[in-house]
Amino acid sequence: MTRSTFGRPLEIAIVGAGLLGRLLAWRLLRQGHRVSLFEAGSFDQPRSAAHTAAAMISPLSEVVSSEPLVYHLGMASLALWPQWLSELNSDLPSPVQYGNSGSIVVAHAQDAAELQQFKYDLQTRLQHDDNSRWLDQRELADYEPDLAHFPQALYLPGEAHVDNRHLLGCLLNQIGKLGGHCVDNTPVIFTNGELDLLGNFNYVVDCRGMGSKENHPGLRGVRGEVMWVETGEVRLQHAVRLMHPRYKLYVVPKPQQRFIIGATEIESEDRSPISLQSTLELASALYTINPALAEARVIETDTNLRPAYADNLPRITVNGSCISINGLYRHGYLLAPVMVDHLAQFLDQGSRGHFWNNLVHHHSEADRASVAPISR
Ligand SMILES: Cc1cc2nc3c(=O)[nH]c(=O)nc-3n(C[C@H](O)[C@H](O)[C@H](O)COP(=O)(O)OP(=O)(O)OC[C@H]3O[C@@H](n4cnc5c(N)ncnc54)[C@H](O)[C@@H]3O)c2cc1C
């Protein structure tokens, strides 16, 4: 068992068992610490954004509409995912599927300008790092036979997608096996910014996503709606994005001939079910990707909120021994490993990784000097 620089395993409470909470708990347990994970909802009926997400890990696709920091963090995460999944999968009977053979961007002939613009934006942002490349119709047919009717496509090598629902379940199992204490149906309340539980732990890490809004006035939710379909008629290996002047769509393959289609992005904190308009737009855009998708069965629709700060950048906020990690917006799977890795290294060894100064916000100058666990 490893020890922290403080010479002993730490007692750490993690509040919120979504993506960040589960990944962090798993990493800290592997480092030899004692972890208690508290979740407001039920483990059997997850309501986290992590459960709703398509789980693409797509730094190139995102760079055209995000700050450069998201790209750099995303590339670092892209390197961590295979390593972490191989550690996780070595303990599992049924491995978590991870596709990292890149993604494909297409547009219908009448929208070709959208695709050209996307390539131009990529080149402008990434310059020499832009390794995207055009596929002609024949090459596209080799990559994805069911997209062969598109005249061309843009290929984004290295981009990935993960079977997130299986991942979330496996993480919870492993946390239990490593001795983590997991408690669901337990909403944890912070009073005046202090966590009632604090006295029992060296550190408390707030991973409540939108659940921490009242303690983070700058945090907002961005509504996203998705649709799940099932069909044996169309086979896609890569995540596919459709460029369109009004609604952009992605299709991400999941196990058992299923695909997740998404996603709307609406500045609203309304969590009610998908609207008729969004249903029609997603379904008709999907149908144009391949008419055979018309016979796909709609097996689920889902709505959730992406937790975001005004700058749409992730943030670790340090307030003494209470640490919050939030604001992953639509980049949770893209950014979580690098965020969690930085925080876990910091808690374990006090080390501040490469991106630490870009990520950390201190509650006050006094906190900057006193980031230390409570002695118990
Ligand atoms: C439609 C949609 C599609 C997305 N697609 C992608 C994608 O393709 N790629 C990507 O990188 N990201 C994607 N995301 C974003 C990603 O899902 C989020 O960024 C990520 O889930 C945020 O992780 P989190 O752990 O902060 O929050 P969450 O995953 O929401 O977890 C927060 C957890 O805290 C719990 N909680 C809340 N309040 C309390 C309380 N008081 N006490 C205890 N527990 C509490 C909640 O129940 C929840 O389980 C998508 C999001 C949406 C909505």
17 Cβ inside 6 Å of ligand 1:
yes
Q: How far apart are CA 57 and CA 74, in angstroms?
A: 7
Ligand 1, closest atom to CA 161? 8
For ligand 1, the distance from its centroid to the CA atom of residue 168, given in whole angstroms, is 11
Specify the residue with its C-alpha closest to ligand 1, atom 35: 16
Domains of the chain and CATH, by start: 11-58+165-216+310-369 (3.50.50.60), 103-157+221-307 (3.30.9.10)
Cα angle, residue 268 at apex, residues 263 and 272 outer, rounded to 5°:
75
Q: Give the span between the Cα atoms of 30 and 75, in whole angstroms.
A: 24
Q: In the chain, what's the furthest Cα-to-Cα distance?
A: 66
CB of 40 sitting under 6 A from ligand 1: yes
Confidence (pLDDT) at 8: 77
Whether the CB of 195 sits within 6 Å of ligand 1:
no
Nearest to 54 by CA among 324, 254, 348: 254
Asked if residue 350 lies in contact with residue 318, where contact means CB atoms within 8 angstroms, the answer is no
DSSP H or E segment with residue 206? strand 203-206
Q: Model's pTM, two decimal places?
A: 0.95
Which pLDDT score is estimated for 292? 94
| Of residues 293, 289, 274, 299, the one with CA closest to residue 241 | 289
Per-residue pLDDT for the chain (376 aa), expressed as one digit of tens each?
Answer: 444 555 679 999 999 999 999 999 999 999 999 999 999 999 999 999 999 999 999 999 999 999 999 999 999 999 999 999 999 999 889 999 999 999 999 999 999 999 999 999 999 999 989 999 999 999 999 999 999 999 999 999 999 999 999 999 999 999 999 999 999 999 998 776 556 666 789 999 999 999 999 989 899 999 999 999 999 999 999 999 999 888 789 999 999 999 999 999 999 999 999 999 999 999 999 999 999 999 999 999 999 999 999 999 999 999 889 999 999 999 999 999 999 999 999 999 888 999 999 999 877 554 444 444 544 4
Q: What is the pLDDT of residue 190?
A: 79
